[in-house]
A and B are shown apart, each in its own frame.
Chain A
């Protein structure tokens, strides 16, 4: 595992305590795993994602990632309906390791309530949590 100082934390996303990130673009929120999460997981070999149209509540398990013989659940930062999944991960799950904030995004959601984003951490707060 890398030192926290060697990891990349995007300024343009909000973070959860479970190490997912969320980014608002117009009225759609993109969700992924933080650089800290992918580093902790190790080499990711499979990503299990929901179906487009699935509806979730904040905190729900919406999929899983398998790495190094370990399956880890992933959780939704906000409530909403899945409008797109990252199909590239089916053949190239390692994108989550290589490019977690861009090519390795997981799903896109139409959020129920944008105010839920306010409950998430900015980069500084997330770093404080990791260092704490």
Chain B
């Protein structure tokens, strides 16, 4: 974060690059397997480039390393009837929901090589979401007490990562135009009485067509890559598949 401030745009030297891949719609566990595979390669071969995955997951609840099942407000039998699984993960944070219409970004990034502290990296991830929603005319804020991105008292984006040997996995999730109903079945991130929102809800776009939803997700994908590159001073190779 501070790195951006130290160098004027005209003199900015891009030192690092990462490879972008649009995973399109992919099951949570398969996307996690991709990240873990890259993380292991990067630990054994530090010269391997950083990777950046954009993905949209089918409906799933995920738990943080410390759990969060106690913040599930419906029975697991009910979730089974809805065909929604709960996946234990090793990321920070508590229970959350992923589903269609939510834009997810997973940087598998060498934080040590980038000389980025974990706290600054998380701040940067939140800033990516903040700058992205700003492009839609939505003013949102970070909250150092309750991480993520907030529009007033409503949460629009979440962040959770884990770091092994300096290499990050997991990332951020921004509500673009998802069905927010499943969030009402949990205390998101372990917080009680938290209302969720989305770009579509804030802009009054609740009757969007499938094509409009796809266009929204594509635009968010481009914005994520753009702001990721700017905020972390990193050159992104590969283009979103749009």
Contacts and interface: CB of A to CB of B under 8 A. Distances in A.
B2 A1 contact: yes
A18 B112 CA distance: 9
Contact of B122 (A39, A42, A48, A75): A42
Nearest to B94: A69
Interface string A63-83: 010111111110100000000
A24 interface: no
Interface in B78-131: 90-93, 117-123
A78 to B, nearest CB: 18
A71 B163 contact: yes
A46 interface: yes
Interface string B214-236: 00000000000000000000000
Nearest to A42: B119
Given A40-B118, A40-B119, A70 B92 contact: yes
Contacts of A69: 91-93, 122, 147-148, 159-161
Contacts of B117: 1, 39-42
Interface in A30-72: 39-43, 46, 48, 61, 64, 66-72
A73 B119 CA distance: 15
A72 B92 CA distance: 9
Contact of A42 (B91, B118, B159): B118
Chief secondary structure at chain A's binding surface: strand
A66 B92 contact: yes
B65 A67 contact: no
B165 interface: yes
Interface residues of A, number: 20
Contact of A71 (B92, B147, B159): B92
Given A41-B118, A42-B122, A66-B66, A73 B163 contact: yes
Contacts of B184: none
A48 B92 CA distance: 12
Contacts of A61: 164
B234 to A, nearest CB: 18
A39, A40, A70 — which one has the most chain B CB atoms within 10 A of its CB? A70
A112 B148 CA distance: 44
Contact of B164 (A39, A48, A73): A73
Interface in B6-42: none
B107 to A, nearest CB: 12
Contact of B66 (A1, A46, A75): A46
Contacts of B71: none
A70 B122 CA distance: 8
A68 B126 CA distance: 11
Most buried by A among B64, B118, B147, B165: B118
Contacts of B122: 42, 68-70
B119 A71 contact: no
Given A1-B2, A66-B92, A67-B92, A72 B118 contact: yes
Given A1-B120, A68-B147, A70-B92, 4 more contacts: A66-B65, A68-B123, A70-B118, A70-B121
10 contacts: A1-B119, A18-B166, A41-B119, A43-B119, A48-B65, A68-B118, A68-B122, A69-B92, A70-B91, A71-B92
Q: Which 3 residue pairs of A and B lie closest in terms of their CB atoms, listed nearest first?
A: A42-B119, A40-B117, A69-B92
Interface of B: 2, 64-66, 90-93, 117-123, 147-148, 159-166, 168
